Amino acid sequence: MRRLLLATPALLAACATTTPQSLTCESSGAQQFVGQPGTSETGAAILRATNSSVLRWAPPGVMLTMDFSPSRVTVRLGSDGKVTAINCG
């Protein structure tokens, strides 16, 4: 029993994992993309400009979840397929 108690911290430490730092969205540099077509190239450029790891397209009329994700950028599109707004979260 005593050996088990002495081994418990080591066993718990072996189970611990470190998670990589996630990226945090910064929308200040993304407004330059408003008015551009909503293409994969534009999306990739928005990801780089905002330092985000997740891109969410929001076409007109689509309902979105209200959950907050600091690593996500949401790109709203108009009926013409062009970017109308860019928001983090």
Residues 11-35 have pLDDT tens digits of 444 444 433 456 899 988 899 999 9
Predicted TM-score (pTM) of the model is: 0.73
The reported pLDDT for the residue numbered 1 is 52
Backbone angles phi and psi of 24, in degrees to 5: -115, 130
CATH 3.30.10.10 fits 21-88, yes or no: yes
The reported pLDDT for the residue numbered 18 is 39
Q: If you count them, how many residues does the chain have?
A: 89
What residue spans define the domains of the chain?
21-88
Query: What parts of the chain have a pLDDT lower than 70?
Result: 1-22
The reported pLDDT for the residue numbered 72 is 96
